[in-house]
Chain A
C-alpha cells in the first residue's frame, strides 16, 4: 500500500464526519471521494445524492464528473436536475451538504466566482454551481479544501456562498433553514465554528502538523482552540478501503 499523503488524511478525516444513513448532497472531487470512503467503511447506509439527478447512488468507482453513468446505473432512482434542487434540496430532505471551494473566509463564506474585480477578473473561476443553495438549505455543511494563504483569505472578492455571513446569528436573519458549516477539513487539520461568533477555530491537527503551520497557512489571524487535539491516525481498514477505491477508479480509466 502506498504511503499516506496529506490528502489521504484530509479525505479520511472528512469521511469520518459522516454518520451512517445520513442523506448527503455530494460535490464532485474530494467530497465525493470522502463520501464513498465513508460508504465503504463505517457508513454503508449513507445515501448519496448528486446534483445532476441520481438519488441513492452506490458507485464502485469514483465518478469522473457529475453526469457519470456509474452514478445513474447504481442509483435507487434518477430524477431531473430541477427536481433535485426543488423537491429534494429546497424541500428540506438533505441532512448534509458536502462541498469544496476555491476560497474561504473566517466565517466559512465561499468564493467560486472570480479572483479580482467582477467586471475585470484576474482569474475567472467556474461559478456558483449548486453551492449557494446547498449551503443554505442542507441540514449542515461539511467543507473540504486545501489550506493556504491563497485559499484561506481575510476577504473574499465575491461571496458566492454564505457560510455564516458576518457571523453570529446572520443565518437566521437571512432565513436559512440549515445550520451551516459545522466542520472544515483540510490537509492540516479541522476547523469548527465558534458557538457564539461562528468564526472558524482550529480544533484538530493531523499528526505531524504544528499549530504554527496552520496559522501560517491562513490569511487571517487564526484562532486555535486551547485544547487542540490530534486527529486519529487512519486505520488499516480506512486506508485499504481508500486504496481499493482508487485502484478500481484507475482500472476503469486504464483497463
Chain B
C-alpha cells in the first residue's frame, strides 16, 4: 500500500487519561517540556496515576513534576541540564534517587543548556547529533558518552558533538487549541516546539479549546497534523505560570521543599493528592481545600 492510501488520523480530542494511556508507553523516551513556564503538571500526575514505568525522561529544567515522577518510581533515566526547584532550592526526590538510589537507581545523561537546546534542534531536524562550541576544559564529557569532540571538515577546528534528542512522546501544555487540534502557545516558549518536532507523538494539554485561534505576538502555532492528542485541562500547568491565564503559585513551590524532603511525607502527599484523585480538577480542589 502506498503512503497516500491511508488517511492521516485526525487529532484525538480526548481526556488526559485517554491520551496518556494510549500514547505513553512504559520504557519510552518522553519529555514534558517547559522552561518554568507552561509546565505540564496535569500530564505528569496522570503518568503517576497510570503507574508508567522505566521512562527515559527528558527535560532541560526538570522541576517539581519531575521530582514527583522520579519519587514515584516512573523514571529509569533522566536526560537534563539543570534540575532544581526554581527560585527555591533542591529537588529532594531527584537528590534522593541519585544520592541513595531511592526508590531505585536513576541513570543520568547530563548536559548543559546549550547542548540540550541544540540536541532538541537536531532531533527536530532529523539529525543524529548537533554541533556546537561547548564543554572545552570541563569534566562533564568525562561522565557522558553522548558528548564527543569532532573536527570541522573545512577548517579542522575542534567542536562538541552531542547526541540528538529523539522522543517517542512529547508532552506540552499550551494556552489554546481549536476544535481541529491546532495549538497555540505564547510567552516564554523554551524548547517546546523543538520537543514536539523531535517526537513521534505529541500530547498537548490546553487551558481551553476555542472556536478560533487569534494570532498572538510571538505566538507559536503547532498545526494539527503534528499533534497526536489534545486534552482540555484548565489550570493544567498549576502551580507554574500560564501566561494570560495564571501566575505562578509561589507558595506551593516553597511548600514543596517541605513536602518532598522526607520520603514518607512525600508518599503520603502523592497518595492523598494524586493517586486518590481521579483527575487534575479533583487534585486542585483537594489541594485548595487544605490551603
Contact = CB atoms under 8 A, between A and B. Distances in A.
Interface residues of B, number: 56
A122 B98 CA distance: 9
A29 B34 CA distance: 20
Interface in B164-204: 187-191, 193-194
Interface in B240-271: 240-241, 243, 247-248, 250-251, 253
A68 B95 contact: no
Contact of A81 (B83, B117, B140, B243): B117
A66 B243 contact: no
Q: Give the interface size class of chain A.
A: 35 or more
A126 B83 contact: yes
A51 B113 contact: yes
Interface in A111-164: 113, 118, 121-124, 126-133, 136-137, 158-162
Nearest to B111: A128
Contacts of A132: 112, 114, 134-135, 138, 140
Contact of B137 (A65, A67, A113, A174): A174
B68 interface: no
B87 A130 contact: no
A244 B81 CA distance: 34
A24 to B, nearest CB: 17
Interface string A67-80: 11101110001101
Contacts of A161: 138
Contacts of B83: 124, 126-127
B3 interface: no
Given A65-B86, A67-B190, A124 B117 contact: no
A137 B87 CA distance: 25
B190 A162 contact: no
Interface in B18-70: 34-38, 60-61
Contacts of B113: 51, 81, 85, 128-130, 133
B139 A131 contact: no
B135 to A, nearest CB: 6
Given A64-B87, A126-B83, A77 B241 contact: no
Interface in A1-51: 28-29, 51
Contacts of A69: 37, 187-188, 241, 243, 247
A28 B110 contact: no
B275 interface: no
A189 interface: no
A121 B99 contact: yes
A51 B80 CA distance: 15
Given A78-B218, A174-B136, A128 B112 contact: yes
A52 B192 CA distance: 11
Nearest to A127: B82
A56 interface: no
Interface string B100-139: 0000000000111110011011000000000011111111
Which 7 pairs show the lowest CB-CB distances between chains A and B? A67-B36, A67-B37, A65-B86, A129-B82, A126-B84, A162-B137, A133-B114
Interface of A: 28-29, 51-54, 64-69, 71-73, 77-78, 80-82, 84-86, 89-90, 113, 118, 121-124, 126-133, 136-137, 158-162, 165, 170, 174-177, 253
21 contacts: A66-B35, A67-B38, A67-B188, A67-B241, A68-B37, A69-B247, A80-B193, A81-B113, A82-B117, A85-B114, A86-B114, A113-B140, A121-B99, A124-B90, A124-B95, A136-B136, A159-B138, A159-B139, A162-B137, A170-B137, A175-B133
